[in-house]
A and B are shown apart, each in its own frame.
Chain A
């Protein structure tokens, strides 16, 4: 740095300013642009009582009705929940409406969101990649190979798939039990069913496709025997897909079946007693988990969820109240003309 101290002497470095007409020599004068001179036109908002207080009131006035709406909607949704210890038994049907009724199974204290659990899957394999089918990813360990055969589908998530079967019967007053028809399709996301999960080939003969692989350790049947319907078998079995979409929290519910509506006049589920029959395969006692079955209708905002409604009402009220308090404070102590006394 010091070395360059004498440069100034070099005459060739000097540039004389040319007039406004501008010669060939360029002046070092910075350009007069709004950007370079930091004079860009700008909106300069200030927090004043005039802007902040109305905002509070508006938030309050918007949130409270939304909250009430949500709360009412949520309350109108009928939900019926039964813990699956007591197997079967007659239950009263609370449902009166004529829409679809959704059947969920719920698990508690089940950590589908554990890091090692979450990553224990091979999306390439599930997407039908033949190479991954025979060579599952390392992430699947220790459920990648069994008896030297690749597991399909590999990984802890697939291995722990929920495999109870739930069936609902209507206890006809005349003593017969009528099974309620339920659909097992349409319960997964469209994107999952059609994009994310694919069988290795479109070959209808899945048995041949999965030749050379073995079923997950805990499973009773191989993946190609999950269903008889070829559109709901193998990796694209919807029960499987639903299971593979891991839950965010340790207590969760997953859609199991849909009880389709009959027509708009007849309630989906008739008034009366019902029996739930559960084939109990899935062990949860060892880790103090709980199993539940939930029947629920839905509304424009999804399932029953009182939280949002209450939260909106609370936040709306708090904002409104805060607005009032701030207004009072502002009127009593506020500096309405705060530029008057600028000391220099």
Chain B
């Protein structure tokens, strides 16, 4: 990544000249090639080896190897270290090479995409990577933007174009970009050829919402801002073509700058392991020193005199020097306490766990044919320790589909399905939906289940008709009729789309619009309404209205908006209806639906004309035009007649509330970070049960200044602490001290929620406030951050990561979640949707939010459990194996003589004991998956880091040491005087070695048997197989044949035969095994019997139920219990009404004929207005 940085100077200002490659080349800007791969064929070996040797373990083992080839201190044969080391390096290198190959491939794919570049007067197809800064490129509809470009002109009038920025910020509504008016008529090639403007602008940065620059052209200066830029990653929509000039390319584009560095993620177990390895290393040195001192003493007391039989070699000048050499010899011998196979085995386990995730059918989503995928194979056990989940909203919790689900028309609700006993029926996929075949223009994807509404339509109930007419007229949707009857709506917000689509299916098809007319197809008949005015939506008004003249010549005002707003403006005669509708609205809101109230009004011709004149006048006023218009709108939107209400479901993904509830039970805190609006976010919070009515308080932080935010945060915190202080009668003074105390946090039983706005978050994340924010957030059960930028998402994650020492998980689906996904310990992407960025940047990806439950509670828990057991056993095993040498040191003159055969040392870890422990690490299950999900509390030991920590490590090393002690001293006692049955002596070193080795292998196998909770056939095969293989290899290595071929490498010839045919040897082995195993067994039995953990209890239960046969499982369903009313919570922008009435967004041909002269003054300002308003929004929204 850093390659391009090396040769660029620090850019202060960027100069780009159109169509002048030579000029632009001077600055050596980055080209549009992106490179995410690390190696090429030639650099692979050196770089990869260099990287690998940076790992402490590998470096350590190569140092050991070097020590081993020095003959004076070599206490082991060279092959004991080099064989495993080469194996490890090779496996890792192969894995790295494959990874990089795929990166190369994907880079290449992106770099080779085609785009049309204007070169030497003609459009030529060029690969993306050849596009350079200053080039003018042509984009076509639905194409990805290749680089950050300045929009010059487009197929649409006024140089408008539409883009979808889902990849960038996750918002799916279309956004408008407009070219400078001076460039918007450069529509053809020759004009573009001559364009030689120079842009001077800011250097590359990661701010998606800001761009400042100036265009110098024909001696004029034109200011440039973000509204004229198309950023890489956007998709051009609804625009046939457009031309743009490349400003930033490749790695300097805002998208790439926003991607953040790919950090190598390490799990906390990894870190702990590194610490422990250091400890072990220290222990190793200690033992080395002890034995070296022993050697010095021995050599000076005994060895000096023993020179008759064992003279000192020429280099061994003194006892001290001998001690020094012995130190290194013992370092070599005892190095197996940290065997290389530990690292390989851990990697293998993680890889295996990743495959189990990939193979899980319960995380496979058939509708999109997407299976879960573990993209990073090194994080699995961390999944069992997650404490914080940061979730995106749109596309993650919700499907981003708005569905017209219910309505209330004239006091009558529609949308529920009842069975013959008048019982409400749950709507499932099997429920028969209403047949819309009477309507040729219907949208086949639309589903509605209540047949009574269609009957009402067919009965031509006027209220119902008016209701749908309103829905078909009062909106800012653009229709597109690609072929006859094939309608596509371009809705600016999905809610509107849902409403208009509903009207369409119920026979009020919105077919076409011009600036002045709206054509409907009402129950098969084309009806054209004259559009007189659009009273646009804004955040204050929370409603929109249209005024139309129907074919009968009557003028009508149709209005839809937030219920409270509409109800205030109703005609008194609608009182009763308002009452019933209000009840229906409560009912809808209780189900988490978004509601709108609909009303209409008949207008008097004369009254309207007067009002219209006032409106025209007001729209020409320069000062306070907004306010004037607002007053006029208010004036006419009075005395409305209520029609009914709609209820739209912002469809949550399946199982979201259940998943959140379940994760909550596992003590996982879920924070929602969304770019969406406050209302929307809260609404979703309620519908997925994160916010509830019975919560003590929901704090909303929306201050605009640092002080305000500080004030709000403090008071919220004091509110919480104040209440609990009363209950806990604690100290009054140390409020802040309390908050630091995590124990205190848990004493707060009351439930709070925190909702914080993006602009407040910006202040709250500043260093002086971040602690307050974090404390408060951790006191609350639910935290929702809305209107946050991608970077803020990452900052929030970073904040928690930094201060809470907890494992964080971020889940999202869009490009705006990428930074958060990369920052968190674990990133999860929702895959299978259009934008794949999140999934590609993530560590795990799957199609549905609800799979998170299984990923964490089943796979994560198992992984953690297995990994911990694996590590405990592994350290135990190696201590037991290695420390025998330490004890032996005291009896062999501290000479670094090994107890075992060299081959046994080489093979012990990689052959004799590797597979059983791998099988345990791969297949072990303490509790099956159903119970893991049913008892989410089983997840808690992982969060508290209980299964493998320094204490556990200490315990298992202690056990290992004890075992090694017994392994040495029992045979020692037995061997000191023993002879064979035929009288010949066999208290020799080789027989001793074979006896201890055999005992060790048997003890290790018995121990793994005791640690294994889940004996599959594979476990049996590996455990029994390992024992068999041990004996087979033992006899093979000590056979006549092997000795005949390499007499000096296999000096143990015949030992096994002679030794293992002795009864007393077997008696020693039996004794050793029992003595080594029994204490551990007694301790674990006592622990289970006296202090059973939840796991033990569930295991017990699992076994008893298995014996009794499967019980029926009833899945708990979480019901929403909210009576909260949601209002016009659209991702709606104002300004679209004006856009329509001005006709600027219609095709030129239709507009030019229909434009009326008197409207010109009004409409000339619309773009300005809109952009001005948009800017207000964009400073917080993007």
List residues of chain A with CB under 8 Å of any chain B CB. 1-10, 15-17, 27-32, 36-38, 40-49, 52, 55-56, 59, 63, 66, 70, 100, 102, 104, 109-118, 120, 122-124, 127, 129, 137, 141-142, 156, 159-160, 186-192, 195-196, 242, 245-255, 258, 283, 286-288, 296, 298, 300-305, 307-308, 311-312, 315, 319, 322, 326, 329-330, 333-335, 338-339, 341-344
Contacts and interface: CB of A to CB of B under 8 A. Distances in A.
B1086 A113 contact: no
16 contacts: A1-B841, A2-B818, A5-B836, A45-B1013, A47-B1088, A48-B1088, A49-B1089, A63-B1074, A191-B1057, A195-B1044, A253-B977, A286-B305, A287-B308, A298-B982, A308-B1064, A326-B1082
A111 B302 contact: yes
Interface string B972-1012: 11111111111111111111110000000000000000000
Contacts of A102: 979, 983
A17 B979 contact: no
Contacts of A315: 1071, 1074-1075, 1078
A252 B985 contact: yes
Given A27-B369, A195-B1040, A115 B896 contact: yes
A312 B36 CA distance: 66
B366 A29 contact: yes
Interface in B302-318: 302-303, 305-306, 308-311, 313-314
Interface of B: 34-36, 75, 103, 106-107, 109-111, 113, 144, 167, 233, 255-256, 259, 262, 302-303, 305-306, 308-311, 313-314, 329, 356, 358-361, 364, 366, 369-371, 665, 815, 818, 834-837, 840-841, 862, 891-893, 895-897, 923, 925, 929, 935-937, 970, 972-993, 1013-1019, 1040, 1043-1044, 1047-1048, 1051, 1053-1054, 1057-1058, 1062-1064, 1067-1068, 1071, 1074-1075, 1078, 1081-1082, 1084-1086, 1088-1090, 1092, 1094, 1096-1104
A301 B891 CA distance: 25
A30 B302 contact: no
Max chain A C-beta neighbours (<10 A), residue from B103, B841, B1054, B1102: B1054
A4 to B, nearest CB: 3
Nearest to B833: A8
A342 B935 contact: yes
Contact of B1015 (A45, A59, A196): A45
A70 B1066 CA distance: 13
Given A3-B107, A249-B987, A8 B834 contact: yes
Contacts of A116: 310, 313, 895
Nearest to B1075: A315
A77 to B, nearest CB: 10
A156 B306 CA distance: 12
Contacts of A338: 1092, 1096-1097, 1100
A311 B1071 contact: yes
A255 B987 CA distance: 11
Nearest to A248: B992
Given A44-B1014, A253-B985, A339 B895 contact: no
A31 B1099 CA distance: 28
A111 B893 contact: yes
A303 B979 contact: yes
Contacts of A319: 1074, 1078
A32 B1014 contact: no
B interface, over-half SS: helix
A3 B1047 contact: no
Contact of A196 (B34, B979, B992, B1053): B1053
Given A248-B975, A322-B1078, 15 more contacts: A3-B111, A5-B835, A6-B113, A44-B1013, A44-B1015, A44-B1099, A111-B892, A113-B891, A113-B895, A160-B309, A187-B984, A195-B1043, A302-B979, A315-B1078, A338-B1100
B1096 A111 contact: no
A344 B934 CA distance: 8
Contact of A3 (B106, B891, B1013, B1104): B106
A255 B984 contact: yes
Contacts of A137: 1048
Nearest to B167: A5
A332 B764 CA distance: 57
A303 B937 CA distance: 60
A249 B975 contact: yes
Contacts of A114: 303, 306, 310, 892-893, 895, 897
B233 A5 contact: yes
Interface centre among B255, B310, B1051, B1058 (most CB of A within 10 A): B310
- Counting from the closest, the 6 A-B pairs by CB-CB distance are A191-B1054, A4-B106, A8-B836, A248-B992, A303-B979, A160-B309
Given A40-B1016, A303-B977, A252 B1063 contact: no
Contacts of B110: 3-7
B923 A38 contact: yes
Contact of A258 (B144, B167, B897, B983): B983
B987 A305 contact: no
A31 B983 CA distance: 63
Contacts of A123: 1047-1048, 1051
Contacts of A49: 1085, 1089
Contacts of A186: 982
Nearest to B993: A248
A6 B144 contact: yes
B837 A5 contact: yes
B982 to A, nearest CB: 8
Contact of A31 (B36, B359, B1081, B1096): B359
B981 A300 contact: yes
